[in-house]
Amino acid sequence: MKRQGHIKRNLVLSENATLRYLSFSALYLAQGIPEGITYMAIPAWLAMNGKAPMEIAAFVAVIGIPWSFKILIAPLMDRYTLLSMGRKRPWIIFGQFGLILSFLFLGQVADPLNNLNGLMLAGFSVSFFGAFQDVATDGMAVDIVPVREQARANGLMWGSKIIGISLSLLIGTFLINLLGFSTAVSLLSVSVAFIILVPICFRERKDEKIMPWTHGTASPQAKTTQLRHWKQIFHSLFKIIKLRSTLMMLIAAFILGLMYGLIDTLLPIFTIQELGWTNTHFSQAYSTTTIIGGLFGMFLGGALVDFFGDKRMISIYLAITTLIIGLMAFISEFWQNNTVIFGFILLYYLFYVFHLIGIFAASMKLCWPVIAATQFTLFMALSNIGRAVGSGLVGTLKEAMSWEYVFLCIALAPLISILFINGIDFKKQQTAIAKFNIA
């Protein structure tokens, strides 16, 4: 009996740091696999087959919309849950199961090259359930990962997601070219299916149920922090939004989202239609550089933030990102040199991972635990709204100006974001939160 109790404690996320790191890394890997296909492999494949930048940008913008819905999903999760299974774990299982089904649906789209509406609908479904899983995962991370572990955890989580995106792009592109779109996407859905075992097998807190029909009970801590009325949620959210540091992060998140959407949508179009790359060449370059960025982020990004501080490192990362993007506008004579473009993609995604780790850790520090899912998701929703807007702007900007000026416009985003990041005061935020009462 003693041995069995020891095993149960070891399978509880709130009591096992190693299990937390592994579980959250696996869940973020699961998010990366469909994103690599929808945001990267499919746009590159469309570009390779002669689709116009406006059409590709429209596809990316549509699949980005559900990520903006996260702010509607999060209050639902903060209000309702099967508390005996944990505050967020039931929602993670639901999101992951929906992700599996929608990924299979994507693989069944008939004649996707000439059926962009069907492709958009299926991509929208993948993003919708991906957003569910993401909100629940982030909410659970804020709930059970101690502050001292948050930067390291975010490094592992985002490193895993980037690796998932990169590998799914590389493998997905290879399979699409070899076996066709439907078979390739259906095969990749198998890897997403396996990861559902993570939330199924591990408890958030001790004595909770593994499944609704098993034995267990809600933990006292979960009962204490669970909000039971909509008025409590929105009143609490309004109190936290009014704080200066929350507002600064919200604005920075939106502006950075614009940059993410612009770069992610621009790269396959720019490299394939302007520079003459194939979709295989693009997928190999992107995957190689982002895997490097993901690995450095996992083992270095979080550690640097821990050692030197959130604001300082985020500002440094964003300043370097500004220089990397801005420099592209002035070296157009070297664009045909594949090494130069490879270096640009490598450096951009290296510092992209680094500053995201810092942004996520900083956002978690700004959260009030009782509405962690809603508040953290608000930061991410603003970023995703910015991403969707940025994706949709690529076609418009390209029609209005040359690629050089497009790069210059994008370089303004990280530069402006630095100003808002430096307006954040973590100590004041935590002091204010400590005085809050649940209404």
Task: Find all residues with CB under 8 Å of 148, minimum gap 6, and list them.
Answer: none
Closest Cα to residue 130, out of 24, 199, 35, 40?
35
Give the span between the Cα atoms of 3 and 171, in whole angstroms: 42
Q: What is the DSSP letter of 43?
A: H
| Start-to-end Cα distance in the chain | 43
- On the question of pLDDT at 226 being above 70, the answer is no
Choose between 370 and 174: higher pLDDT. 174
Rounded CA-CA distance 249/421 in Å is 6
Q: How many residues in the chain?
A: 439
For the chain, what percent of residues have pLDDT higher than 90?
Answer: 11
**Cα Rg of the chain (Å, integer):** 21
Overall average pLDDT of the 387-401 stretch? 83
Query: Could you tell me the pLDDT band of residue 252, with boundaries at 50, 70 and 90?
Result: very high
- If one compares 425 and 229, the residue with the highest pLDDT of the two is 425
> How much of the chain, in percent, has pLDDT values that exceed 70?
94
Is the pLDDT confidence value at 364 over 60?
A: yes
In this model, does residue 1 exceed pLDDT 50? no
The per-residue pLDDT of the chain, averaged, comes to: 82
Domain 2-210+219-434 has CATH 3.30.200.20: no
Question: What mean pLDDT comes out for the span 219-238?
Answer: 73
Better-predicted residue by pLDDT, 319 or 57: 319
CA distances from 369 to 86, 146, 405, 428, 433 (A): 15, 11, 43, 16, 9
pTM of the complete model: 0.70
Q: Give the least confident one: 124-128, 136-140, 312-316.
A: 136-140
Whether the pLDDT of residue 19 is over 80: the answer is yes
How many angstroms separate the Cα of 52 from the Cα of each of 55, 169, 173, 181, 398? 5, 21, 19, 19, 11
Q: Using CA atoms, how far apart are residues 189 and 193, in angstroms rounded to an integer?
A: 6
Let me know: does 264 contact 42? Beta carbons within 8 Å.
no
What pLDDT shows up at residue 417?
94
| Domains of the chain, residue spans | 2-210+219-434
pLDDT at position 225 is 66
Interval 360-364 mean pLDDT: 83
Rounded to the nearest 5 percent, the helix, strand and coil shares of the chain are 85, 0, 15
Note the pLDDT tens digit of each residue in 313-340: 899 999 999 999 999 989 988 988 888 9
Predicted local distance difference test score (pLDDT) of residue 408: 92
